[in-house]
Amino acid sequence: MGSYTVQEILVYPVKSCKGVSVPEACLSITGFRYDREWMVVSASNGRSIAQDSAPKLAVVQPFLPLRLFGGERPSEADMIEISAPGMSSLRVPVKPSDHVGKVAQGERGSLIDVEVGSWTGKAVDEGSQAANWWSCFLGRSARFVRINHEKAYRQVKNALSMHFIGFSNKAQFLVISEGSLQDLNARLHYKIQMNRFRPNIVVHGAPPFQEDKWKIFHIIHGEEKIKFTFTSECTRNKVPNINQDNPHDISEEPLKTMATFRLGETLGLKKNHAKDVIFGAYFSFQDGITMNRARDFVPKTIAIKDFIQVIEMN
């Protein structure tokens, strides 16, 4: 089926903000460690604030020490540092609060009701200083929250897999090949970058859109073969039309062009996705895991240039 490799690994510590390109990444039971670990929510109703309603999130850059992405445990001194144009940096401890659920509402470590898509649950509030920073940047009242690792993993089930996610929309990993972007760019009047599509794993060497057809693949890291299982196609909202380097630049492209050849009905998808634009595919790791097994989970690692072996096609 060809020889493919991992071209780039991207982790998005804060949902809907810029990603971090890393040389290697540790896999947790919810995906890459620290991927969508934090998110911004409305202070009034706890709903996730994303780029479709707040495009300026595109220019917010989170930073974490690279060694943490590789699996090292955070120290008391480790911070997530968040920068944005016109703002001083926000620094929040990476190590979770020792007092989750035991402090007053609004303090760091208090629990807050949140909503991501159709899911509702409890998240951990990062306190008033973080809330004020985000409220100032967005011009609306907001809270900054992180995954409640004790209780708030979201379990996703479909015909092919069962897995846990954190604040991701649908699945643990979004996979896109370089060939898919090259094919799209050849149809556009100007080239766009991969960051418009926010993948976790970029594949080198695969034909355009072949990732749609992968049912199971392995990433070979050293002596270990790590299994990934297809979860679903990635349906697109208007975010790809937002220039990720200049969120005031919003156009009809690339979705207008993509709709001419990447609609679900063109690709033979089920009726509920017939009018959706498809670009990229979602995959899960450790499918079938239960919360009891999750407690005994042993993290794994993948790295740039690891080989990809397609095992089964859809």
Q: At 133, which helix (H) or strand (E)? A: helix 128-138
Per-residue pLDDT reduced to its tens digit, 128-154:
999 999 999 999 999 999 999 876 567
Per-residue pLDDT reduced to its tens digit, 260-291:
999 999 898 877 788 999 999 999 986 555 55
Q: What is the rounded CA–CA span in Å between residue 94 and residue 96? A: 6
What is residue 216's predicted lDDT score, i.e. its pLDDT? 94
**Rg (alpha carbons) of the chain, rounded to whole number:** 19
190 is written with which tokens? 């100007």
* Low-confidence winner among 142-151, 212-221, 249-258, 276-285 (lowest mean pLDDT): 142-151
Q: What is the rounded CA–CA span in Å between residue 250 and residue 243? A: 6
pLDDT band at 192 (very low <50, low <70, confident <90, very high): very high
Cα distances from 143 to residues 97, 103, 168, 188, 309, in angstroms, run 16, 16, 18, 38, 42
Per-residue pLDDT reduced to its tens digit, 41-83:
999 999 999 999 999 999 999 999 999 999 999 999 999 999 9
Q: Which 8-state DSSP code applies to residue 59?
A: G
What is residue 164's predicted lDDT score, i.e. its pLDDT? 81
Q: What is the rounded CA–CA span in Å between residue 179 and residue 122? A: 40
Q: Give the β-pairing of 214-221 and 79-83.
A: unpaired
Whether the pTM exceeds 0.85: the reply is yes
Q: Is the pLDDT of residue 169 over 60?
A: yes
Q: What average pLDDT does range 31-49 have in this prediction?
A: 96
What is residue 160's predicted lDDT score, i.e. its pLDDT? 56
What is residue 141's predicted lDDT score, i.e. its pLDDT? 98
Per-residue pLDDT reduced to its tens digit, 7-22:
999 999 999 999 999 9
Q: Considering the chain, what is the average pLDDT of its residues?
A: 92
Give the up-direction half-sphere exposure of residue 48: CA atoms within 13 A in the CB hemisphere.
26
pLDDT band at 165 (very low <50, low <70, confident <90, very high): confident
What is residue 138's predicted lDDT score, i.e. its pLDDT? 98
Q: What is the rounded CA–CA span in Å between residue 78 and residue 120? A: 29
